[in-house]
Amino acid sequence: MKIKDALELARKNGLPDLEAHIIIRFISGKSKEFIISHPNFEIDDEKFLKLIEKRKNGYPIQYIVKGKEFYKNWFYVDEGVLIPRQETELLVEKAIEFIEKYNVKKIAEIGVGSGAIIISILIETKTIGFGTDISDKAIEITKINAKRFKVEDRLFIKKGPFLEPFVENYNDIELIISNPPYVREDAILPREVLWEPKEALYAGKDGLEFYRKFLNMYDLSGKIVLMEIGHDQGDFFRKLGWNVIKDYSNNDRIAIFIDRR
């Protein structure tokens, strides 16, 4: 199929040109400029049709191109891990701020997913990181991203719940960060989100299950903890005496606990 016919077909299927271009770039390996200037170039029909069909059903474009820009870098993502969200970049900014302010050396992330959070922090600071996830795919993808950004010698990744895989290191960990599952189980999510892993999203009836378990499991004395939260979950943390900060859309977004001087 010629590029010009592929674009026409995409339009007929309700797909914006921008997305069709992204798909054609992915299939052909050609640049945006090449695609625009070579309308008669032949691309693989079968691959194009398959991806157009998937996209029509809400399959995320980031899984098609296998990447997402997050903070300052382009991370590898694929089915089985959450696509990092722009609003989560605030968690990275705050963590870096506290690492510098309190001269933090060792950090840990629960639920690394693609590794976008902890790897972004390691790139910007000289910290050593410990990351966990209950998903094999997340562990695999985080390791790939750690290599890509050359932080694999400072990032220890293990499969398991919460910080259990690193109990021996717990006392040395100064800052804990997480963007955990926090969606209530009856929430109606956009079509695209349904392609993402359930264990990355849902956290029981009120979406607070992960936080409750975490708070019951660990003694946080001497630690700094930053957790991403849902827009309606701030009061849960305020009642516990945590600080809650808002994102750029003015929604409660990060719960912060600091026991450091």
Ligand X SMILES: C[S@@+](CC[C@H](N)C(=O)[O-])C[C@H]1O[C@@H](n2cnc3c(N)ncnc32)[C@H](O)[C@@H]1O
Q: Which stretches of the chain bind ligand X, using CB under 6 A?
A: 82, 84, 88, 110-114, 116-117, 132-135, 138, 161-162, 179-181, 199-200, 210
Residue 51: CB minimum distance to ligand X, A: 23
Min dist. Cβ of residue 81 to ligand X (A): 6
The per-residue DSSP string of the chain comes to -BHHHHHHHHHHTT--HHHHHHHHHHHH---HHHHHH-TT-B--HHHHHHHHHHHHTT--HHHHHT-EEETTEEE---TTSPPPPGGGHHHHHHHHHHHHHTT--EEEEE--TTSHHHHHHHHHS--EEEEEES-HHHHHHHHHHHHHTT-TTTEEEEESSTTGGGGGGGGG--EEEE----B-TTPPPPGGGGGS-GGGTB-STTS-HHHHHHHHH---TT-EEEEE--TT-HHHHHHTT-EEEE-TTS-EEEEEEE---
Q: Is the dihedral of CA 43, 45, 47, 48 positive or negative?
A: positive
Cβ proximity to ligand X, 15 vs 117, nearer residue? 117
Nearer to ligand X, 23 or 60 (CB): 60
The residue (of 6 and 89) whose beta carbon lies closer to ligand X is 89
CB-nearer residue toward ligand X: 84 or 234: 84
CB of 101 to ligand X, least distance (A): 23
Residue 32, Cβ neighbours under 10 Å: how many?
A: 12
Rank residues 174 and 196 by Cβ distance to ligand X and give the closer one.
196
Instruction: Answer yes or no: are the C-beta atoms of 110 and 214 closer than 8 Å.
Output: yes
252-258 and 224-228 beta bridge pairing: antiparallel
Closest distance between ligand X and the C-beta of residue 196, in Å? 8
User: Is the CB of 4 or the CB of 198 nearer to ligand X?
Assistant: 198
Query: Least Å distance between CB 96 and ligand X?
Result: 15
Work out how close the CB of 166 gets to ligand X at its nearest, in angstroms, rounded to a whole number: 11
Query: Closest approach of Cβ 57 to ligand X, in Å?
Result: 22
36/187 with CB nearer ligand X:
187
